[in-house]
A and B are shown apart, each in its own frame.
Chain A
């Protein structure tokens, strides 16, 4: 396998760009997906977005299951935009795995190699090796309905990898699992993806899955890319409300003059950054301090009169949603929440230290 990959690198990598270079335009009734995706071999890219954003459509377009309306799809320099799915070097792990129910785990994995011309014995030997690698050698003879969710996921991954794809697609790979299995499977999947030498694209609506599994996040909303970057970059500098909510930040857009940012809707925020022009300001809910009465002696900067609209437990903390001068979320301890007598409708004063805000150009 290794020498084969090396030769691919020599022939195609030298002439064309290796990896994935795609612009996917798919019209689906009134909905239009239009995104550009590039990735180098070894990259793991996560398409992150709310339901209905077009993530799965993008994945289907990459696999050849949804035809491109326009755009292109180049993989290791070869144009695949019009290639039928069975001729694309693309492997897919479907959301509910879609393991063939009438075949054993071994024959599910052997299916791909068989279709690629291997004899039955060869295909089975390869499949057995893949299952072994996934730690599933004991379950080779089991039908899919006898497998647990985590085992099914690994069989699906082995089945997709057994065709040696140059592009691996994973559709919500952890969505079908319960919370406990999820943690374990996520760690395993991360290891397998790290070993994978070609491009992997995964679709998820779970920011944690995306951040743990991917090197790069591409946030899709309404069929468009709204932000892309490393998980750390996106977590620090969200550019839409959706992303801010995902990473748990309060996000505002405004116009900066020096250390003051005048928000488009609402009051001003004082920041430590010295900027001019349109900016985003973000701060974590933990940076907010709440008071029952207007704090005396405190400076009037970054102090807003608000009202509690909702409370929910968030780990060992209480997360309060506030409206008023500035809509925001604030985290506080259960004890603090009790002392403040927080309840929906309660008036509070909220304050944030300038040092805990973060402003960056929009």
Chain B
């Protein structure tokens, strides 16, 4: 897999010649590029650079950033624990309804996050299908708590991890697992000691993707967990709220998220930016 990835940029560097680009293609292409880049430039232009240090060191920003990083990381960890086995099941076994299961797993990718939040509320809310039992048996309440934020982010972000890991698993040679079983390894041992190390890169890429998605999660979070500073108010929620009464703070918070996004992109460049 690394071989083909390595082949990418080398081919991309070949000059393909720009003389022959027809105008009807060039103009919309440039417009598309401008459309994507312009808002980011505007963000940088309007950033109150002078007051930025004060904005960024304010306790509210730090609280939201800390909470965001914690929840996104926890959601990613939860996604890894339950998502990687799910990906293995989808890639390596054949059971009736596998296609349906796969469709269900991908559904949160296209579902409006707000709907996800409502669904979570109906399932895990205090009067929810499962939530009422959690409440009456164990005294566990999930909505409007930090744990609720983690769950909402996991719901939205885990499909990214599952799809990414499943793809890596399908590309990996299943005969290594067979070789391991002929050496006396159970299927689980083969998975743990052979498959997992072989797909580590794919898992890492999927985890970063899921983490980035969790960090930016807004709709499901605000619906399921509310907007309580220090408890459930993550960065995107803080940005939205700040925009109403303190635009400068909103810009500063946005800048932080942009920086994090760029860092993610740099971390994943080998995987996602060599599509040529």
Interface residues of A (CB under 8 A from B): 63-65, 84-88, 90-92, 94, 98, 100-102, 111-112, 115-116, 159-160, 163
By a CB distance below 8 angstroms, the chain A residues around B182 are: 63-65, 85-86, 88, 90-92, 160
A-B contact sample (10 more), CB < 8 A, given A65-B182, A100-B197 = A84-B181, A86-B182, A90-B182, A91-B182, A111-B180, A111-B185, A112-B184, A115-B180, A115-B185, A115-B189
A233 to B179, CA, bound (A): 35
Which listed residue (A64, A88, A90, A94) contacts B179, Cβ 8 A?
A94
How many whole Å from A146's CB to the nearest CB in chain B? 16
Q: Which of B173, B183, B189 has the most CB of A within 10 A?
A: B183
Which listed residue (B173, B181, B194) contacts A85, Cβ 8 A?
B181
By a CB distance below 8 angstroms, the chain A residues around B175 are: 94, 98
A84 to B177, CA, bound (A): 13
| Interface positions of B from 157 to 209, Cβ below 8 Å from A | 173, 175-176, 178-187, 189, 193-194, 197-198
A111 to B197, CA, bound (A): 14
| Chain A to chain B contacts (Cβ below 8 Å), 17 pairs | A85-B181, A87-B184, A88-B182, A91-B182, A91-B183, A98-B175, A98-B178, A98-B179, A102-B197, A111-B193, A112-B184, A115-B183, A115-B185, A159-B183, A160-B182, A160-B183, A163-B183
A29 to B94, CA, bound (A): 17
How many whole Å from A57's CB to the nearest CB in chain B? 14
Contact B183 A102 (CB under 8 A): no
By a CB distance below 8 angstroms, the chain B residues around A86 are: 181-187
A100 to B197, CA, bound (A): 10
Question: Nearest A residue to B196 by beta-carbon distance?
Answer: A102
Contact B179 A112 (CB under 8 A): no
Q: Which of A63, A85, A112 has the most CB of B within 10 A?
A: A85
Question: Nearest A residue to B189 by beta-carbon distance?
Answer: A115
By a CB distance below 8 angstroms, the chain A residues around B185 are: 86, 111, 115
By a CB distance below 8 angstroms, the chain B residues around A111 are: 180, 183, 185, 193
How many whole Å from B172's CB to the nearest CB in chain A? 11
Q: Which of B180, B181, B187, B197 has the most CB of A within 10 A?
A: B181
Evaluate whether A102 and B198 lie within 8 angstroms (CB atoms) in the complex, with A94-B179, A111-B180, A111-B193 already known: yes
Contact B176 A98 (CB under 8 A): yes
Interface residues of B (CB under 8 A from A): 173, 175-176, 178-187, 189, 193-194, 197-198
A85 to B184, CA, bound (A): 7
How many whole Å from B94's CB to the nearest CB in chain A? 13
A116 to B185, CA, bound (A): 8
Contact A112 B176 (CB under 8 A): no
Contact A65 B178 (CB under 8 A): yes
A115 to B182, CA, bound (A): 10
A86 to B185, CA, bound (A): 6
By a CB distance below 8 angstroms, the chain A residues around B181 are: 64-65, 84-86
A64 to B180, CA, bound (A): 12
Question: Nearest B residue to A98 by beta-carbon distance?
Answer: B179
Q: Which of B175, B184, B193, B194 has the most CB of A within 10 A?
A: B184
Question: Nearest A residue to B182 by beta-carbon distance?
Answer: A92
How many whole Å from B198's CB to the nearest CB in chain A? 6
A111 to B186, CA, bound (A): 12
Contact B178 A115 (CB under 8 A): no
A65 to B180, CA, bound (A): 11
By a CB distance below 8 angstroms, the chain A residues around B178 are: 65, 85, 98
A278 to B193, CA, bound (A): 59
By a CB distance below 8 angstroms, the chain B residues around A116 are: 184
By a CB distance below 8 angstroms, the chain B residues around A112 are: 183-184
A64 to B186, CA, bound (A): 13
By a CB distance below 8 angstroms, the chain B residues around A100 are: 176, 179-180, 194, 197-198
Evaluate whether A92 and B179 lie within 8 angstroms (CB atoms) in the complex, with A102-B197, A102-B198, A111-B193 already known: yes
Question: Nearest A residue to B200 by beta-carbon distance?
Answer: A102
Question: Nearest A residue to B184 by beta-carbon distance?
Answer: A115
How many whole Å from B187's CB to the nearest CB in chain A? 8
By a CB distance below 8 angstroms, the chain A residues around B194 are: 100
By a CB distance below 8 angstroms, the chain B residues around A115 are: 180, 183-186, 189
A87 to B180, CA, bound (A): 12
By a CB distance below 8 angstroms, the chain A residues around B173 are: 98
Question: Nearest B residue to A101 by beta-carbon distance?
Answer: B198
How many whole Å from B186's CB to the nearest CB in chain A? 6
By a CB distance below 8 angstroms, the chain B residues around A101 are: 198
By a CB distance below 8 angstroms, the chain B residues around A94 are: 175, 179
Question: Nearest B residue to A84 by beta-carbon distance?
Answer: B181
Question: Nearest B residue to A94 by beta-carbon distance?
Answer: B179
How many whole Å from B177's CB to the nearest CB in chain A? 10
How many whole Å from B219's CB to the nearest CB in chain A? 40
A84 to B193, CA, bound (A): 19
A94 to B197, CA, bound (A): 20
A94 to B179, CA, bound (A): 8
By a CB distance below 8 angstroms, the chain B residues around A92 are: 179, 182
A85 to B180, CA, bound (A): 9
How many whole Å from A252's CB to the nearest CB in chain B? 43
By a CB distance below 8 angstroms, the chain A residues around B176 are: 98, 100
